[in-house]
Chains A and B, each alone.
Chain A
């Protein structure tokens, strides 16, 4: 846990360290707004949305995302995403905690298809950065800092709406851990697809599991145990490989990462 937190902090700094140069011709599979004053890489969702708007197949970005996906699954969500770290820290704030029904977890696929592909594709260049207009990490990393830097905002009403949306998401995150990842994040939805085949995945030893359920209680993504011996069914689309289940497992860590 301490190692993961250190890596998350390092990632936050590394991904936002473009004081002297930037590598915007490359994307990392994390939601880190490329309009952030100090962002190092481009945001894959922003790029995908823009390619959709321009009706061009995004060979390069799709290749990068698929490569990361098949090798690591959603590992970056759990270990490197700055907004993931932000959510984990917010959840530590003492407040009323709620549970979100698993049915809502499908909404992120809807958001991915609608806001990143369908709307930009149908509306063309009029809808460039469609998802970015409502993206909470974008508001946090770009809209607010640029408003401070420039001392004004281009359009007041949309800016206020963005802030209100961000505050709503913050409220949700504070009451349910990683709820943005669970029900909204389009990048998480895309990368999660590869969890089924990725090189890294969480494996549970069913023969040694005593079914105490502790792993389920600590899972930030609300992944439930599978008693099925079939490997395919043990691989959850939501798992971010944070290893909290492994750390909690009393049966001498019968859960671990496998290759």
Chain B
């Protein structure tokens, strides 16, 4: 087995490991993990307007802020957004 074949074989193994690791991370993070994005902060995640909708996924951070960014005529939404801003938990530069 020459060096090129050895490299290809090693590369295939690393590639397979990469795929397995990434799928494991996706499954653990997206399906099994009960970890919620706001556990590390003082924000009460259950107050989040779209909590029920997004609670199954870890990316609640972006989705939630996306939701807040989008804004609706939901009064709770606006009040919550303003409170986050007041508490400096929502990025003040963000044009939302």
Contacts and interface: CB of A to CB of B under 8 A. Distances in A.
Interface of A: 22, 24-27, 34-35, 39, 42-43, 46-47, 50-51, 54-56, 58-67, 69-71, 125-126, 128-129, 132-133, 142-143, 145-147, 150, 153-155, 158-159, 162, 194, 197-199, 229-232
A132 to B, nearest CB: 7
Nearest to A70: B18
A24 B3 contact: no
Nearest to A233: B7
Contact of A59 (B33, B39, B62): B33
B55 to A, nearest CB: 10
A230 B94 contact: no
Nearest to A44: B62
29 contacts: A25-B54, A34-B65, A34-B69, A39-B66, A46-B62, A51-B58, A54-B38, A54-B41, A55-B40, A56-B35, A56-B39, A59-B30, A60-B26, A61-B29, A62-B25, A63-B24, A64-B22, A65-B22, A66-B18, A70-B19, A70-B22, A71-B19, A129-B91, A154-B95, A155-B93, A162-B93, A194-B18, A197-B14, A198-B15
Interface of B: 3-4, 7-8, 11, 14-15, 18-19, 21-30, 33, 35, 37-42, 54, 57-63, 65-67, 69-70, 88-96
A63 B25 contact: yes
Contacts of B91: 128-129, 132-133
The 10 closest A-B pairs by CB, nearest first: A59-B29, A63-B25, A60-B29, A146-B95, A42-B62, A70-B18, A63-B26, A67-B22, A66-B22, A54-B40
B37 A231 contact: no
Contact of A25 (B19, B22, B63, B96): B63
A60 B57 contact: yes
Contact of B66 (A35, A60, A132, A150): A35
Main secondary structure of the interface of B (DSSP, over half): helix
Contacts of A162: 93
B36 to A, nearest CB: 9
A145 B69 CA distance: 13
Contacts of A155: 92-93
Nearest to A125: B41
A58 B60 CA distance: 11
Contacts of A133: 91, 93
Contacts of B21: 63, 66
B8 to A, nearest CB: 7
Given A143-B95, A146-B95, A146-B96, A35 B69 contact: yes
Contacts of A24: 59, 62-63, 66-67
B89 A26 contact: no
Given A47-B61, A133-B93, A231-B7, 7 more contacts: A24-B67, A43-B62, A47-B59, A54-B38, A54-B40, A67-B23, A70-B15
B92 to A, nearest CB: 6
A65 B57 CA distance: 16
Nearest to A66: B22
A22 B29 contact: no
Nearest to A36: B69
Contacts of B11: 197, 231
